[in-house]
Chain A
Amino acid sequence: AQKVTQAQTEISVVEKEDVTLDCVYETRDTTYYLFWYKQPPSGELVFLIRRNSFDEQNEISGRYSWNFQKSTSSFNFTITASQVVDSAVYFCALSVLTAESFVFGPGTRLSVLP
């Protein structure tokens, strides 16, 4: 069975601080996919990134970066120079080839204070 853990329930930072959201996953499959989604206060779910298990390169997109480490089964998300608009709930998710479903973590609520 697959599992995603996001140990940080809530994080508060002051604007311009850097913040890292942790995601740890469990699966016995060798082919799998990891995702991050953002849920702003308005409630919609916004796709941020997808990473497959064979690509361990870190990715940077503007102020966002993702660190994928198979050795520790982690797929962490860092926001550099956070802004108030980054305040949201962030979900990490996992899907595997052998199961036709996605598993989501419980989410981390990020509050960026001005």
Chain B
Amino acid sequence: NAGVTQTPKFQVLKTGQSMTLQCAQDMNHEYMSWYRQDPGMGLRLIHYSVGAGITDQGEVPNGYNVSRSTTEDFPLRLLSAAPSQTSVYFCASSYSGGQGTEQYFGPGTRLTVT
């Protein structure tokens, strides 16, 4: 049981490049989400999904796309990277979003955009 896995762990992009951060979980959780963590700002929700085929925007969705074709995978796409997207990105999963089940987090991806 690997839990929540994220790849890559580190990434450096140039402004304007695109890339996909991968996230997978093997706990059969319906709810998955992406956060970014910036100094002094805690974890801010980018996008979330309550099940395969269903996604919704969080607090800071601009510049990011997601899709959920399977229960296990929830990739995050940066369409045209900007320096403001330099951050640590965490993927998380849980049994539900609003019903009190805790989230399990991946190890994070540290992204630098130059």
Q: Which A residues contact B (CB, under 8 angstroms)?
A: 6, 9, 33, 35, 37, 43-45, 47, 50, 52, 91, 93, 95-107
Contacts and interface: CB of A to CB of B under 8 A. Distances in A.
B60 interface: no
Given A95-B98, A96-B98, A98-B98, A104 B42 contact: yes
Contacts of A50: 100-102
A21 to B, nearest CB: 14
A44 B108 contact: yes
Contacts of B99: 33, 95, 97
Nearest to A99: B98
A95 B58 CA distance: 13
A63 B84 CA distance: 40
B43 interface: yes
Interface string B95-107: 0111111111101
Say which size band chain B's interface belongs to.
Answer: 20 to 34
A99 B58 CA distance: 11
Contacts of B50: 100
A102 B97 contact: yes
For the complex of A and B, the 5 pairs showing the least CB-CB separation, nearest first, are A100-B97, A33-B100, A45-B105, A106-B42, A104-B43
A100 B97 CA distance: 4
A100 B48 contact: yes
A45 B87 CA distance: 16
